[in-house]
Amino acid sequence: MYGFDEVALVPSTLTVDPRDVDTTWKLDCLEFKIPVIAAALDAAVNPRVAAEMTRLGGFAVLNLDGIQTRYEDAEGALAEIAGAPSEGIIEFIQKMYTAPVREDLIAKRVREIKDAGGFAAVSAIPANSPRFCAIAAGAGADVFVVNSTVTSLKYYSTRTETVDLTLFVKESPIPVILGNCVGYQACLDLMSTGCAGVLVGVGPGAICTSRRVLGIGVPQVTAIADCAAARDEYFARTGHHCAVIADGGMRSGGDISKAIASGADAVMLGSSIAAASEAPAPGFSWGMATSSADLPRGTRIQTDIAGTLKEILLGPAHRDDGTMNLVGALRLSMASVGALTIPGMQQAELAVAPTLATEGKTLQRAQHVGQGR
């Protein structure tokens, strides 16, 4: 199985003018200019970020199980987490997330996004989805995301509250995205519900927390390629295009380019967005699983503020590590391998070419090749 670090894009016999590259993609009947979605991390998305993501051509997902719906004064609660000492931070975060989710705040946050001119995508864990979706859709939400570490159509439980995903998708008044999944059949199962998109990625990072704590993880290149094959099969069978959204494990424009070349229609970014100066808790990030009461995964990390959301996504970049002007990098990458569109980029050649952590000395070597045509 392959991850981003083990493959590289290979130029073809054609190059194209970057100014002619088109990064548009579709989710159901909706069209977006850039294939980037901000992930439902409390440290990445609040109503303000959601509106800005919309203006930049993508969209953001607001977490309905998080701080925004547990606290009237969400900004204050986020500042508290950002300001808490590192010592004991996990227990502090665990405690902050014991406050109950308030239904009135769900509607309120959706309206805040809409009032700011944003596209309102919101998410919840499966058990909360039927209830939260009704409220959010009523308040004007545009898309609902059902989200857990591993989501499958088939679910065994001796309890009775189990959610029927097929029924949920069918009855939802707004398009639904389901996730996360990784395998061909599991993905095809989710697509069979008629959902608008699937999130692909389970323990994607080579040394990510799910890999360490649970032992579960599928490298993203393989996961995306498998789910893209399921999408193509599902389209062949039904004529319905279900978007494959790569979720997790991407750090740079190069990783995003590889995700799309692996077959993704769009990518979902968390930490890259949390590094924006407009982020809810600038300079800090933590995951949804950090707040788990009995098995926290991931802690609060201090992040470098890379620039504005616009600079991070559209440039210009003032650093050379691939973390700024992500869409500009994708466009130049597409131009260099001769891809004019996202579907064209999905056909680009990827080869196995490990990124060796040898000696850090090769970093500056390849720079004397020119800036493009």
Closest C-alpha to 121, from 66, 53, 181, 169: 53
Task: Work out how close the CB of 94 gets to a copy of itself at its nearest, in angstroms, rounded to a whole number.
Answer: 8
Query: Pick the catalytic residue: 208, 227, 242, 331?
Result: 208
Residue 297 bears catalytic tag:
yes
Which residue out of 70, 109, 231, 297 is catalytically annotated? 297
Identity of the residue, 29 or 156, whose beta carbon is nearer to a copy of itself in the bound complex: 156
CB of 240 to a copy of itself, least distance (A): 20
Torsions phi, psi of 72, nearest 5?
Answer: -55, -50
CB of 174 to a copy of itself, least distance (A): 19
- DSSP three-state, residue 11: coil
**Residue 29 or residue 359: which is nearer to a copy of itself going by CB?**
359
Radius of gyration of the chain, Cα coordinates, nearest whole angstrom: 20
- Integer Cα distance of 356 and 261 in angstroms: 21
Which C-beta is closer to a copy of itself: that of 118 or that of 183? 183
CB within 8 Å of 317: residues ≥ 6 apart: 311, 324, 325, 328
d(CA 258, CA 253): 9
- For residues 304 and 275, is the Cβ–Cβ distance under 8 A? yes
Rounded to a whole number of angstroms, the minimum distance from the CB of residue 337 to a copy of itself is: 7
Q: How far is the CB of 332 from a copy of itself (least distance, A)?
A: 6
State the Cα–Cα distance between residues 212 and 296, nearest whole angstrom: 12
Residues 198/188, Cβ–Cβ less than 8 Å: no
Which one, 28 or 255, has the nearer CB to a copy of itself? 255
Catalytic residue status for 48: no
Nearer to a copy of itself, 5 or 142 (CB): 5
Q: Are strands 176-181 and 7-10 parallel, antiparallel or unpaired?
A: unpaired
Enzyme catalytic residues: 208, 297
